Structure 1
Amino acid sequence: MRGMCAGVLFFEAIVLALATPVMIQVEGVSTGVALAWGVGLAALALVTAGLLRFPWAYALGWLVQVGAVAMGFLLPIAFFVGGVFAAIWATAWVLGRRIERDRAANPEFYAR
């Protein structure tokens, strides 16, 4: 689960950082606000990806998803892009939990 969720957060961080100049140039968002949302969320996503060895960090990952969707108030396309990343995050989280549960139930199968 950790690897899948970390991968989602890593790619999301790239997209969030690249949204910063779009917010400034296309939407006319002030530089400070755009940097706080775009680069700030990207940094939070990267830090969270590194902290996923702790169970509480997954809640922080959900917070990144909420922030990415909320960025849509500054950059309307972010409602869609943030929603897509939230769906990918949710899928990675659910499937990762299912795989971990299966590994715990069938350790002899995964020992091969």
Structure 2
Amino acid sequence: MSTKELETYLSDVGSSNQFETNSSKYVSHVKKLLYRRMLVGISDGRFFLGTFYCIDKQGNIILQDAVEYRSTRRSAPSPMEQRVLGLILIPSSCRKTCHVDCSIDEQLSLMSLGEQKS
């Protein structure tokens, strides 16, 4: 799933009016993403790789068995440092990118959600 599609989808889930009118559609799609590997990039340049555990109405994401990856230097290319974190909450305000490990059929299904919104 592309970052733009997932970001659009997650922002719709976080929007209360949109969520209330289409809750069953969004809830069913979120359920399909549960327990999938998710890579989340945040605004300070770090990435978190973990298992998607849940999302709330505000768009905050909880990952379990998460590992943090960060650059050890400011210059590119630099080696990545990693550390195991466990269960973490990533606020929607910090989130820049999201990638979910899913099949092509699921990617197409999620893309159709963004098209229906327009």
With the length of structure 2 as denominator, give the TM-score of the two structures: 0.31
Q: Would you tell me which structure has more strand in proportion to its own residues?
A: 2
| Structure number with bigger Rg | 1
| Larger proportion of helix | 1
